[in-house]
Amino acid sequence: MHPLSLIPILIALSTFSLRFIPEAHASNRMNVLFISVDDMNCDLGAYGHPIVKTPNLDRLCRMGVRFDSAYCQQPLCGPSRASLMTGLRPDTLDMHTLDHELRKKNPDVVTLGQLFRQNGYFSARSGKIYHYGNPKMIGTDGNDDPMTWDEKDNPIGIDRSQQEKITRYGAGQEKNTNLGISMAWWDPVSSDSEHTDGMVASRVIDWIHEKKSEPFFLAAGFFNPHCPYVAPKKYFDLYSMDQIQIQDLESARQDLLDVPNMAVQRDTKNWPFYFKDVTIDEARKCKQAYYATISFVDAQVGRLLDTLEENQLLQKTIIVFWSDHGYFLGEKGLWYKRKAFERSARMPLIIAAPGFSQNASSKKPVELLDIYPTLADLCGLDAPADLEGKSLRPLLADPESPHWKKPAVTQIWHSKKAWGYSIRTEKFRYTEWLEGKAGRELYNHLSDSQEIHNLADNPAFEKIVAELSSNLKKYIRLPSHKRN
């Protein structure tokens, strides 16, 4: 046969290869189901809480690894989520507020979903992944990043469209329309599908059915349990008010006596509970409502897991469940986030990865920015070289690996005059305000998990303070224009 006569055959073979080899490769690639919740702390049955019911998160824990010492980079939605989605710290991104400035300040950054898109995955989100003013921005793009997704979905339920029915607490709050910071709740007799988070789950379920034969990165961004605390009444009925306790205010006051002023400067004006004239019984009602929204979100997680199982995708899907930070519910008389305490910096993180540990937990300190390199590693993708987190693969294989030595660092930024950094090791939390000029905190978590006794000025811990301060210095990279 003349060599020229082989050309049509070679072209046909190359076309066949281009068409079918990627598809064969795609069939073996791991999917990612990326589940985000808003303002959720670790008051979960899955984390051992005695009354909060989370049967589906319990189920997810049995499928993978529960991280008991997972921490955010900043306990504020905007910078926390931007950090997670880029694998970079807030100082590196120069993002410390709720402003929509990710691409403005970092035009060339490759986000987590964008990396998956670049590698042939279908990347889509429903609900809140980047910052949204909650509930004000529900139904909009919020501070979304279009380069991250192939498709997006912005549902809006009765929790947003009928918010005039929400009960508000605190002096002068009756007509407050800024429910993003509120002591407020509503328990309508309604179906899950009438609420935004029910709609989020439904859209992601549709995508799972539609895309089950191709690799996907699907993000379910739930808005609960962020205030206002709204869920169908059946979830409120899970919690009797007799079960809901708030710390005695005198002991709460005592807890704050040895804390630097800057640590709680946003909370002291109307202490306790942030708003003026909120009673203990009203705080208890909000805590019940918060727990109700947790169980509501848990039910949506169950729907997602059921759909993966129905489509025989559990063995080829990595599932990540995360919150953007923790949350106070009256401990120390405090409410909300934006504090360097454990209660605010720590949040749930559960990863179920086929072929790795199941029904396991890890006490090693990890960070939200570790998620990006972890997913890239597990899915065989080349991640950007400048990521500041570390793959959690060693801990997924051995949850108490002695080789994991990395601490977790959380920072606070209120203004040029008020900021600080906190480092968490397996044993200690150490915090500096204005690099120590405005105070220090040291808590021994082996004996004081509630962070009641500040040991920073105790001579017996002088060497520990010096060592942790030295370790913390390399993480203090606040841009000069954000310092006084």
Mean pLDDT of 49-70: 98
For tokens 């899970």, name the residue.
Answer: 238
Residue type, 69: S
| CA geometry: angle 173, 297, 245, nearest 5 deg | 55
What pLDDT is stored for residue 26 in this prediction?
57
Residue (of 386, 322, 319) closest to 353 by Cα position:
319
Nearest to 48, CA basis, from 396, 390, 348: 348
Do residues 115 and 381 lie in contact, with contact meaning Cβ atoms separated by under 8 Å?
A: yes
Query: Phi-psi region for residue 451, left (φ > 0), alpha (ψ -120 to 50) or beta?
Result: left
Which residues contact residue 331 at a Cβ distance below 8 angstroms, ignoring those fewer than 6 apart?
Answer: 247, 252, 343, 450
Q: What is the mean pLDDT of residues 278-286?
A: 98
- Where do the domains of the chain lie? 28-401
Q: What is the DSSP letter of 16?
A: H
Alpha carbons 226 and 160: distance in angstroms, whole number: 12
Q: What is the rounded distance in angstroms from the CA atom of residue 232 to the CA atom of residue 192?
A: 7
Count H helices and E strands in the chain, helices first.
Answer: 15, 19
Give per-residue pLDDT as tens, 141-199: 999 999 999 999 999 999 999 999 999 999 989 888 889 999 999 999 999 999 999 99
Instruction: Tell me the average pLDDT across 308-331.
Output: 98
Q: Which of 1-10, 229-238, 358-367, 428-437 has the lowest mean pLDDT?
A: 1-10
pLDDT in tens, 36-55: 999 999 999 999 999 999 99
pLDDT tens readout for residues 199-219: 999 999 999 999 999 999 999
Cα–Cα distance between 472 and 164 in angstroms, integer? 46
Would you please indicate which residues are annotated as catalytic (active-site) residues? 77, 131
Cα–Cα dist 45/42, whole Å: 9
pLDDT at 175: 80
Tell me the pLDDT tens digit for each residue of 130-139. 999 999 999 9
pLDDT at 176: 82
What CATH number is given for 28-401 in this structure? 3.40.720.10
Name residues whose C-beta falls within 8 Å of residue 459's C-beta, 6 or more positions apart in sequence: none
Query: Which residues are registered as beta bridge partners of 31?
Result: 317
- DSSP code for 18: H
Mean model confidence pLDDT for the chain: 94
